Amino acid sequence: MALLGQGILKGLGVTLRHFIATYTEDLKYWGRDAETGPRYLRRQSPKAKGTVTIEYPAEKAELPENFRNIPFLVHDTTLDEIKCTSCGICPKVCPPQCIWIVRTEDPVTKRPVPQPQKFFIDSTICMNCGYCAEFCPFDAIKMNKDYEIAYFPGQVPEDRLVYDKAMLEHPDTYHAALHPTGWAREMAEKGAAAAKKGGAPAPAAKAAPSPAAKPATAPAPGAPKPSASAPPPGAPPAAKPPSAGAPPPGAPPAAKPPSAGAPPPAAKPPAAPPPPGGKPAPGAPPPASKK
Amino acid sequence: MSTPTTKTASLPLAQLTPEMAKLQEKFGADALVAAPYDGLLLNDPAKLLDVARYCRDELDYNMLANATAVDYAKEGYIEVVHQMQRVPGGGSPITLKVRVPRGDAVAPTEPIPSLVSVYPGAEFQEREIYDMYGVSFSGHPDLRRILMWDGFRGWPLRKDWREAYYEGETKPFESRWPGGNHVLAEERVPWGDNVEIPADFDPFTYTSKPDGNLYETMGVDVPSISSASLAEMALDTNRNGIADTEEMRTDRIIVNMGPQHPSTHGVLRMVVQLDGETVTDVKLVLGYLHRNHEKIGERNTWLQNTPYTDRLDYIVGMVNEWGYVHTVEKMMGIKPTERAEYLRVIMSELTRVESHFWAIGFLLNDLGAFYTPALYFITERDLILDLFEAVSGSRMMCNYMRFGGVNRDLTSEQWAQMRELVWDRIPRKIDELEELLSDNEIVKARCIGVGYLPADRSIAYSLTGPCLRAAGVPYDIRRADPYGIYDRFDFQIPTLFGADVYDRYRVRIAEMRESIKILKQAIEQAETNSKWGDIQAGKKAYTHRVPAGQAYGRVETPKGELGYYIVSDGGQNPYRYHIRSSSFINLNSLREMTVGSKIADAVVILGSLDIVLGEVDR
């Protein structure tokens, strides 16, 4: 027969351990942020002890590459045109039907021109499912990571909840900074397609390695061991992907400066395809994965 | 009653199982005929009770798994579908169908016999059928609307009913492309011609007594609630709204708990009748979160439904998606790849762990241990959600499963993080959870013997999930009707016999340990048996051809059995999309668990059921 109250004492021991661990953890890494990475990264890892609090908005959690919120349209900076061809697949797959597209018509021939004249996304309806980006055959629509989209009434422009083309369009450097591995895959696919098209006969095209085009053939991760000595999550990201802070709405796309860490669009030739480990190609900003 | 006949001859008929043949033998082959696609069609609804009783007593189909209806508007009838299953025997359920003429748009149909006397678990489901389809049931103890409010006009799931901002029968809508100028829905249909207001409706003289109807079922005499009578009641100091049925006045009072009550886990309203502190009756008012999910599902294309299922029970989105894609894959006859099967199991078991962390944390909240235990386990849950976010893009609204596969594979970094969670962090934290709570004298005093519901009553009330297993019934869909690749893993179905709140808590802890066991096997097998990145069978497409037919697919969510009853007519959209939600049906038994206990325990008992209102109200 256990002593009455023993169970309660045991439980109180657990809460006491939590309480103390919170402070010892802080003391252990006192002033060592430079070598161990920012506090919130450590505090969020499975190795963390004690209480976990990210002091938003002073600290912001690092978002993984695949994080998704309202979509945006990609503007090809080398060709200086919007990538969207207004093919109509995204409004067809959109579950809550929040995408509206007006297709451009040639004023003379009345034939459709592969460019959207108007493009609306109703952010009050969008459910952030990511289907539009997933099924877009032109990589023209991608999911944004900007989650601070609330606004006060009276802020301009008035209609900030319905995003029009000007608000949706972002340069491809912005996309590259947000989704480094996705961008590298797109570039590799483009490079492979160009190599195929570029006069080389079929056998040569076959021999051309395009592993990133077929991620299925990439090597399996083997048996990654949960090694206790996993390196700390790298150096702190030099430049945060522009996940926070909306670009000024209504500004022309060219006026939107890409984030400092974004690779220049010139660095386009098929970069080395990233291994499944998601180690970014040199020059690309570190993937914004939570560790 | 005349039975509507249709051109059933042209449709493929159900294959007869031995049990169905036995039923036919007993009741005659012309009374019970094979229905199109699946199940038996009972020609004379009056015999329904006899057939159900025979199913339960002789054939041992002792639990009503699912009851729903399908509106065949063109043919002019509504088909009521009952599915019975064997607990704990398992196997696929037996389907029994009854047809009833549709009647008109406002009045309910001719009544069919209610199954509540045979399967008490039919109570809420029949009320839902009445509410959504206007099918009337004779012999039902409390046939009122359940999700819509009393006084609502029309039957929202009938094919000819249109919602307020109706735009088209099926998605995608024409107006979006290529001439898609954005228009707000409320500007386009400002309560337009799809809203029908009765001719005799006058807002200035209209009085309703919706709560009067409810209170009358609890023995309270509320003649009619109008401003005049309320004033009268306020003046009359002798009456407090309770009928004087006894000589001595007692203080039976009605307390409305909710809908904005923190302990009701959402917008659930419990109307509790109290004698002192003892609960003498409980009625639930549901539907505050009702958004007619099933109607939305019938307007959506097959693909578009997957993200909506995340919003059902938003704690366990991954499992909901699996249930849906599992059912549709069954109809399409496709199989996911090996890698996708493993990823589905991994995600689903991680979901089970995080959902049980949540359930136990908030059970403690209900006991009065505010926030400290809950937040300790939300921390662990968050680490799992971080993984979901990294792989799917969203913490809770994952939208991860696709027909024939999943959306994305884990990177080796994420894989290592997952291994660390499964091998080290989560087992350690489950131990800590037990240390914190299992021996705690206060937890024991508040939980042991509270909310008792024995095994036979649990089965009768169609209770599923951890609550049923805490009553000594080892019933789990993963073993009883295996789906996915659960037959490859070695795991137990934790079963305890207390049938009270404490054993429901302990069953959840044991289930988390079993989930860790499954996860370890699945992760190791996935590393050796499957190819990285091979996540999609066939070509990824956004349109799907689902052959005409119907299927009932089910999975074991952390809350119980989640079933999808889907009817396809071969088109781009489901013809009928019904969700058998465990949270909703588990609430059937709340009354029997609660009556006789104290008001403070009512909150704990509700917490032990672990409901999520997104799934209750749909």
pLDDT of residue B309: 92
Residues β-bridged to residue A162? A122
Extended strands (E) in B529-594: 549-557, 560-568, 574-580
From B568, B566, B562, select the one nearest B544 (Cα to Cα): B568
pLDDT digits (tens, 9 = 90+) for B423-439: 988 998 898 888 888 88
DSSP string, B158-227: STT---TT---SSSSPGGGSSB-----HHHH-SS-TT----TT--TTT----HHHHHHHTTT-------H
Cis peptide leading into residue A282 (ω within 30°): no
Write phi, then psi, for A75 (nearest 5 degrees). Answer: -105, 120
pLDDT of residue B319: 92
* pTM (two decimals): 0.82
Other beta carbons within 10 Å of B169 = 11
* Cβ pair B117, B142 in contact under 8 A: no
| 8 Å CB contact of B180 and A101 | yes
From B364, B361, B343, select the one nearest B353 (Cα to Cα): B361
Distance CA A186, CA A141 (A): 13
Mean pLDDT calculated for residue range A124-130: 89
Distance CA B385, CA B379 (A): 10
Exposed/middle/buried for residue B444 (C-beta within 10 Å: 0-12, 13-18, 19+): middle
pLDDT of residue A253: 39
Distance CA B47, CA B31 (A): 9
pLDDT of residue A258: 38
pLDDT of residue B80: 92
B427 CB near a chain A CB, below 8 Å? no
Does domain A65-196+239-285 fall under CATH 3.30.70? My reply is: yes
Tell me what the pLDDT averaged over chain A comes to.
69
From B83, B573, B78, select the one nearest B328 (Cα to Cα): B573
Q: Is the pLDDT assigned to residue B515 strictly greater than 70?
A: yes
Shortest distance, CA B301 to any CA of chain A (angstroms): 8
* Cβ pair B511, B497 in contact under 8 A: no
CB within 8 Å of A136: residues ≥ 6 apart: A89, A90
pLDDT digits (tens, 9 = 90+) for A175-220: 888 888 888 888 888 888 888 876 544 443 333 333 333 333 333 3
Shortest distance, CA A145 to any CA of chain B (angstroms): 10
Q: Is the pLDDT assigned to residue A157 strictly greater than 80?
A: no
Mean pLDDT calculated for residue range A109-133: 87
H helices present in chain A, as ranges: 6-28, 33-36, 39-44, 89-93, 131-135, 165-168, 172-178, 180-197, 202-207
pLDDT of residue A254: 38
Task: Scan residues 295-324 of B and list those with Cβ closer than 8 Å to A.
Answer: 300-301, 303-308
From B579, B614, B65, select the one nearest B355 (Cα to Cα): B614
DSSP string, B45-92: GGGHHHHHHHHHHTS---EEEEEEEEEETTTTEEEEEEEEE-TTT-SP
Contacts of B415 in chain A (CB under 8 A): 221, 224
Amino acid identity at B361:
G
**A141, HSE (Cβ side, Cα atoms, 13 Å):** 31
* Cβ pair B340, B480 in contact under 8 A: no
Q: What is the token pair recorded at B188?
A: 């386009």
Q: What is the token pair recorded at B171?
A: 């998605």
More confident residue, A277 or B330: B330
CB within 8 Å of B555: residues ≥ 6 apart: B319, B322, B323, B326, B348, B477, B483, B561, B562
CA–CA distances in Å: residue B502 to residues A11, B310, B466, B496: 17, 29, 12, 10
| DSSP-based three-state secondary structure for A200 | coil
From B615, B2, B556, B102, select the one nearest B322 (Cα to Cα): B556
**B121, HSE (Cβ side, Cα atoms, 13 Å):** 28
DSSP letter for B422, please: I
Q: Is the pLDDT assigned to residue B246 strictly greater than 60?
A: no
Amino acid identity at B338:
E
**Minimum mean pLDDT range among A59-68, B394-403, B486-495:** A59-68
CA–CA distances in Å: residue B209 to residues A33, B203, B206, B219, B233: 65, 14, 10, 15, 15
A147 CB near a chain B CB, below 8 Å? no
Shortest distance, CA B207 to any CA of chain A (angstroms): 35
Domain borders along chain B are 8-138, 210-285, 293-617
Distance CA B454, CA B456 (A): 6
Size of interface A-B (CB pairs under 8 A): 195
B176 CB near a chain A CB, below 8 Å? yes
Contacts of A84 in chain B (CB under 8 A): none
Q: Parallel, antiparallel, or unpaired for β A169-171 and A162-163?
A: unpaired
Nearest CB to A91 within list B177, B410, B420: B177
Shortest distance, CA A204 to any CA of chain B (angstroms): 26
> Which of B312, B414, B432, B443 is the best residue to mutate to test the A interface, defined by the most A CB atoms within 10 Å of its own CB?
B414
* Cβ pair B155, B132 in contact under 8 A: yes
pLDDT of residue B197: 72
CB within 8 Å of B409: residues ≥ 6 apart: A215, A276, B339, B343, B391, B532, B533, B535
pLDDT digits (tens, 9 = 90+) for A1-21: 567 778 888 888 888 988 888
From A245, A231, A236, select the one nearest A39 (Cα to Cα): A236
Domain B293-617, CATH class in plain words: mainly alpha
Q: Is the pLDDT assigned to residue B487 strictly greater than 80?
A: yes
Dihedral Cα B279, B284, B289, B292, nearest 10 deg: 160
Domain borders along chain A are 9-62, 65-196+239-285
Mean pLDDT calculated for residue range B17-23: 84
pLDDT of residue A156: 62
From B260, B442, B200, B28, select the one nearest A8 (Cα to Cα): B442
Mean pLDDT calculated for residue range B188-198: 65
Contacts of B405 in chain A (CB under 8 A): none
Q: Parallel, antiparallel, or unpaired for β B401-402 and B405-406?
A: antiparallel
Task: Scan residues 136-155 of B and list those with Cβ closer than 8 Å to A.
Answer: none
Nearest CB to A46 within list B300, B421, B442: B421
Task: Scan residues 20-39 of A and list those with Cβ closer than 8 Å to B.
Answer: none
pLDDT digits (tens, 9 = 90+) for B276-322: 888 888 888 888 889 889 999 999 999 999 999 999 888 898 999 99
pLDDT digits (tens, 9 = 90+) for B379-399: 888 889 989 998 988 888 999
pLDDT of residue B427: 92
CB within 8 Å of B251: residues ≥ 6 apart: B275, B276
Nearest CB to B542 within list A135, A220, A227: A135
Query: ∠ CA B105-B110-B114 to the nearest 5 degrees?
Result: 120
Percent share of chain B, pLDDT over 90: 22
- Is residue B298 within a helix (H) or strand (E), and if so which, with residue range? helix B293-299
If you measure CA to CA, which chain B residue comes closest to A221? B412
Domain B8-138, CATH class in plain words: alpha beta
